[in-house]
Structure 1
Amino acid sequence: MAQISNALDTLKGDTTALKLCLDRIIPVRKGRPLPALNKQTDETSVEALLRSVLSGEISPEEGKEVIGLVEGAARVAATQLLTEMRQRQLDALQKAGASGGVVMVPMLDPSKLSTQALEEVLSVITH
């Protein structure tokens, strides 16, 4: 801390250099807290986000960042779902092999199924 104080004392007459140093020591926060997303009746979250961008409540860059967060969360959820499905398929195959029977386990590509179809398949596999 003493070194910072000495450096700042040295720069007292040079406001440009002082500003550069302070910006490095205490960077300016980028971004801002986003306003609450108020969905209207029968409006999806993405539609509400788009409306917020178009009305100027948030900037296009902020909207893009939010969409990026949503996409990342969706990828994580899809990966978890796929992992669970594959584990259930392996468990069913191991169980069939242990009992000497044969079981047909469909190998599914969840990216090509709707959410409802995935839920139906999961309910069949788990019961």
Structure 2
Amino acid sequence: MGQFKPGESGNKAGRPRGSKDRRTELRALLQPHARKLIKKAVDLALDGDTAALKLCIDRICSPLKPQAEPIAATIPATGTLAEQGAAIFQAAATGTIGPDEAAALMTILAGQARIQEIAELQRELDEIKRLLGGGKP
């Protein structure tokens, strides 16, 4: 099926087997000086160098990921999907919920629409099979 035999490279001109990645080589060059470089970066940061400060802080604290809060607004979970979408839009338009919350709710609603669509297609397929005599009653 494939063009290449097992164990054969698809890129003959690619990096030779066993060769080191350039980043690995650079890390090896820096490694003997690591303590001095880190101390220098910390000293620069403490002396007010904002780039060094950002570097140090980024290494100490990983960036925070946004945490979604529960949505307190009452968006009706009943009615058609179109009605629910209109309610979400209205809540966003009036400022009851923020744009990020509205987008998250619309994504959930779109997922629900896909689920309903698949369920309806399955029901129709089952009905066609039943009518043709090949499916369950």
**What TM-score, normalized to structure 1?**
0.49
Q: Compare relative contact order (CA 8 Å, sep 6+) and give the higher one, 1 or 2.
A: 1
Instruction: Give TM-score, length-normalised by structure 2.
Output: 0.46
Whichever of the two has the greater Rg, that structure is 2
